[in-house]
Structure formats: structure tokens, C-alpha cells
Amino acid sequence: MKSILGYLSKNRTAYLFILPGTIIIILLIIYPIIQSVVMSFTDWYLLSYKPGHPFVGLANYQEVFSMSQFQKVLIVTALYTILGVIGKMYAGLGVALLLNREFAGRGIARAIMVIPWAMPTLVVCIVFRVALDPAFGLINSILLDLNIVNKSVNFLLQPDLALISVIIIAIWRYFPFVALMLLAALQGIPKELYEAASIDGAGIWKRFIYITRPLLRPVWTIVLILQIVWTAKEFELVYLITRGGPDFSTELMGLDIYLNAFQFYKLGTASAEGMFLVAFSIIFTVIYIKRMERNA
């Protein structure tokens, strides 16, 4: 006990520095997570308040499984996450590789690349809703002028097209973050490695495979994990563009949790579904990390 107190006293200044951040993390992250877990096992239906919120066991989880749209929500969330993450990562990688090369106006190009990510989500959604409008949208005008389609297409009212449209918008909106992180990593790779490889006769592809890819892997893994978690819990972009329609074709789990909590006032059910979302994100992340370890 004395050794512990002595250690704490010796490092008191360091602990005082980290104390504010620790308190914020406990109050804003750890406590809400614990509270959500507790709520998922209790009766939190706001329209029929019961004192003390009685323990209901797995009833909320059973209700989640019994929801008619839950299976479709899972499939849509999985498709949105897989296709969205792949699109963001490889679009970001391609742009980062291009912007890592020296050319006139590179600084301006880098600044322009950040615009989609810097724009407020509400503005992005309004722009694309107008662009995809079947009556006066720019996308339909281009498709009609090029004779790709014979009549206007209502992208947001056709289930398959609505999901594809939302995924493409999400890729355009978020790929700059990936590009920035990968570009920063590329800037840290010594140019001497590429020069030595070129002298040995290595082409662009071999330089990428044997130099760029291995040195980029740590940053790539971190960014990929972040994108999996962020994409799986996406809410605002889908809510503002389609609100989950048509026919649940774009209803992600994050949106379904919001509707259960704040439209149907079933906080217990929403918390239970939130636990599924956490598990969903962890499973995707663990699968990728294990695959990376096998390929390392």
C-alpha cells in the first residue's frame, strides 16, 4: 500500500495533467456505454412509465429480433458498410498517391480535395438531393443529354438505386479524410527507398508492392478500423437524404436505433439494438485485423 501511495505521490503532476481528460472520457464515453447496457435489460418505454424501470432480462433483445424490418436493416447496414468502406479506402488511396507526386498546382489540388469533407453534412445532402431530382436535377440532365437514359430517373425512390446513390454520396463525402491520412503517411516514406528500387530496375507496381504498401500498412489499418466503425453507425447523411426509404432500402441500424428511441420512445429496445451495432462493428474489425495478421 505504501509503495502504491509513494508511486502516486511521485507521479502526482502527471496524474493531474491527465485527470481532466480522464474525467471527460468517463462522463461522456464510459458512463453512457454502461448506462446503455443497463437500459437494454430494463423497461424504458417512455409512453408507459414504470417507476424504477423494472428489469426485463432479454425481452428487449427478443423484440429487436422480432421486428419485421430488422433482418433487412442488418443486410442494408452490412452492404453500406462493406461497399462504403471499400470505396472510401481505395478512392482515398488513389487520390493520396496522385497528390504525393510533384506537379504544378499540387497545393491547390490538395485544398480542393478537402472540400467534400469540410462541408457541413446538411449542405452536402441538400446539394445531392437537388442534383438527383428527377425534374430539374443535374445528374438526370447529363444522363438525358448523353442518351444514357430515355426518361428521368428518380434515384431516391427506387430501392436499389437509392442505396447505391447513398453509398456513392457517402464515399464522396468522406474519402478526403482517408486521403489526408494516407498522404501524411506517404510523405514520411524516405525517397531514397524509391530511388534505390528504381536503380535496381523496379517499376511503379513493384515499388508500390514492396515499398509503399508495407510502410503504409500501419496507418491503413488504423484508418480502416475508424472507417468501419464510423460507417457502420452512420446516421445523419442517410436520415437527411432518404430517411431510410424507400421500403427500408436505406435504413441503417443507426437510423433504426434513432427511430426506436425518439419516434417510438422505446429506449430499452433502442439500447438493445445499439448493442448489436457495437457487436457488428467489433466483428468487422476483428475479422480484418486477423486477416492482416495472417498476411503479415
pLDDT level of residue 204 (50, 70, 90 thresholds): confident
Instruction: Give mean pLDDT, residues 27-33.
Output: 90
End-to-end CA distance of the chain: 44
Q: What is the DSSP letter of 49?
A: -
- What pLDDT does residue 264 have? 87
Q: Note the pTM of the prediction, 2 decimals.
A: 0.87
**For residue 1, pLDDT beyond 60:** no
Q: How far is CA 292 from CA 40, 200, 244, 247, 285, in A?
A: 34, 29, 34, 37, 11
Higher pLDDT: 83 or 229? It is 83
- What pLDDT does residue 49 have? 64
**For residue 280, pLDDT beyond 90:** no
Q: What share of the chain is helix, strand, coil (3-state, %, to 5)?
A: 75, 0, 25
pLDDT in tens, 245-256: 888 899 999 999
pLDDT level of residue 5 (50, 70, 90 thresholds): low
Instruction: Give mean pLDDT, residues 188-198.
Output: 88
- What pLDDT does residue 31 have? 93
The proportion of the chain whose per-residue pLDDT surpasses 90, expressed as a percent, equals: 44
- What pLDDT does residue 56 have? 87
Full set of structural domains in the chain with CATH: 69-295 (1.10.3720.10)
Higher pLDDT: 263 or 87? It is 87
**Chain-wide mean pLDDT for the chain?**
88
Distance CA 67, CA 52 (A): 26
pLDDT in tens, 133-149: 988 889 989 998 888 88
Q: Specify burial of residue 69 (Cβ count, 10 A radius: 0-12, 13-18, 19+).
A: middle
Nearest Cα neighbor of 232 from 64, 67, 82, 36 is: 82
- What pLDDT does residue 4 have? 65
pLDDT in tens, 178-190: 999 999 999 998 8
* Cβ atoms 154, 140 nearer than 8 A: no
**For residue 277, pLDDT beyond 60:** yes
Distance CA 171, CA 190 (A): 30
Distance CA 181, CA 218 (A): 11
Higher pLDDT: 291 or 266? It is 266
Q: What is the DSSP letter of 101?
A: S
